[in-house]
A and B are shown apart, each in its own frame.
Chain A
Amino acid sequence: MFGLLRLLARFGAVFLFLFLEGICMYLIVRFNENQKAIFASSASYFTGSALNQYQKVTRYARLQKQVESLQKEVSRLENESWKMYYLDQAKTDTARMRLDTLGLVPVYSVVEAQVINNSVSGAKNMLTINRGKKHGVSPPMGVITSNGIVGIVRHSTEHFSSVMSVLNTQTRISASVKGKGYFGSLVWKGTDPRHAWLLDVPKHNPVHPGDTIETSGFSTLFPKGVLVGVVRKRWVPSGESNYLIQVELSADLTHVNQVYVVKNLFRKEFDQLEQLSANE
């Protein structure tokens, strides 16, 4: 105690100097636009390059897993690619249908992307991916992995986009029970990164634990039939007419790396159509 006092008496002025300069620095960065901008950009320059270096190192460690998931993804896409086409000519003669002669127009195209920043611990989690306007990514677009949905693109810059994760309390995604067709909104209530909740499914529809949940395709964000997860628990809260369904997400968002941004090539048209009906 005595030593501390002696230290203060000896260097009190130095501490006071540092303290006052600290206040000044705070004022400068807080209230002066130029200095604030320089401070912010230098800070993000340092953190940004640090994040990038970190990614470079960890990417190697995950290379093997990534290759495997890519191979799986390629074969899945090959198998299911017909789902992503829209028959442009209304031909009914399916017997002679051939892809090249029928004029098939794709509805969705996907842009592959790497996750370069991710959080799962907060209530409003976001991801950053390394694709932006330059690659045709612009909000809103759905983001998926080979085994589930990831989130929705919120902002895009030239080379990067921020994605509102499924694990964000503001995200609502239309999802349905596979093979049965009744649908609801998928939301997340914070805290548990493995589980989300499906709301608004009326209780007269039978839903059982183990049922698969997929996207409903009722928006331009996700195609129909992208895997979301599996029903774990479901019950009807007293006094309500809808199920509360706990869904175990199939995509592990704590380890997501390779993702695909889903572009709906007809989005403009859909938007125009909805605009027309809204104006009526």
Chain B
Amino acid sequence: MNNPIIRQGLRLLFFLLVQVLLLKQIPLGPIGPFYADAFVYPLFLLLLPQRTSLELLLLLGFGIGLFVDMFYDSWGVHASASVFLAFIRPGMLRRLEPKGGYNLNYGLTIQRFSLNWFLRYAAFMMLFYLGFYYSMQVFSPVFFLEIIAKTALSFVTSMLFILILMLIFNPLD
């Protein structure tokens, strides 16, 4: 368990299993006319250490997204959203840089930072992720309101699940 690659691999496997075996099967809603989704697998990309290169993040996002797409039967929709998520991560981290700066080897977790910082980071990232995801799913600016509504609903449920997972396992890196 001390090899970081094995640890991250197991974590990825766990998130993917939770996503496709658990969260995909539970229908959340309808809340109003819409169903909400919950996504926790982007959390894997959020938690990777700061020094992870952007190229690696992009490729991981693409692969993970395609894997989830297989189960959601939505080729390319998740993949495009998680590639986008990986792409904006460095910029987002620059904006949210804490006073002391980063330690490049640390994972971006509650233990290494603070609950407050992590929630802000995860919330911004998930908003971008969900906004992009539903834009791709709906695929037409005509349904602008639908995109907003689905993003808002799923944001609440996704953040809830992410918070629960983080509080239960509370990983160091």
A28→B58 contact, CB < 8 A: no
Q: Which residue of B lies closest to A19 (CB)?
A: B58
A24 to chain B, nearest CB (A): 3
> B140: which of A13, A20, A38 is its contact (CB, 8 Å)?
A38
Q: How many chain B residues touch A (Cβ–Cβ < 8 Å)?
A: 22
Does the CB pair A12–B55 fall under 8 Å?
yes
Interface flags for A22-49 (1: CB within 8 Å of B; 0: not) read 0111111011101100110010000000
Contact yes or no, B79 A27, CB < 8 A: yes
Q: Which chain B residues border A25 with CB–CB below 8 Å?
A: 76, 80
A20 to B81 alpha-carbon distance, docked (Å): 11
Interface size class on chain A is: 20 to 34
Of chain A, the residue at the smallest CB distance from B83 is: A20
Distance between Cα atoms of A35 and B76 in the complex (Å): 11
Q: Does A17 contact B (CB under 8 A)?
A: yes
Interface contacts (Cβ under 8 Å), in number, total: 61
Question: Does B111 touch A at the CB level, under 8 Å?
Answer: no
* A contact residues around B69 at 8 Å (CB): 27
From 41 to 98 in chain B, residues with beta carbon under 8 angstroms from any chain A beta carbon are: 53-55, 58-59, 61-62, 65, 69, 74-77, 79-80, 83-84, 86-87
Q: In the complex, A30 Cα to B77 Cα: how many Å? A: 11
Asked whether any CB of chain A lies closer than 8 Å to the CB of B123, the reply is no
Contact B62 A32 (CB under 8 A): no
Nearest neighbor of B143 in chain A, beta-carbon distance: A38
Contact of B58 (CB < 8 Å), options: A20, A31, A35, A42:
A20
Closest 9 CB pairs of A and B: A27-B76, A24-B80, A31-B75, A28-B76, A13-B54, A24-B76, A35-B139, A27-B75, A17-B87
> Which residues of chain A have a CB within 8 Å of any CB of chain B?
12-13, 16-17, 20-21, 23-28, 30-32, 34-35, 38-39, 42
Binding site for A on B (CB under 8 A): 53-55, 58-59, 61-62, 65, 69, 74-77, 79-80, 83-84, 86-87, 136, 139-140
**7 further interface pairs, Cβ-Cβ under 8 Å (given A17-B87, A25-B76, A42-B140):** A16-B55, A24-B65, A24-B83, A26-B76, A31-B76, A32-B74, A34-B139
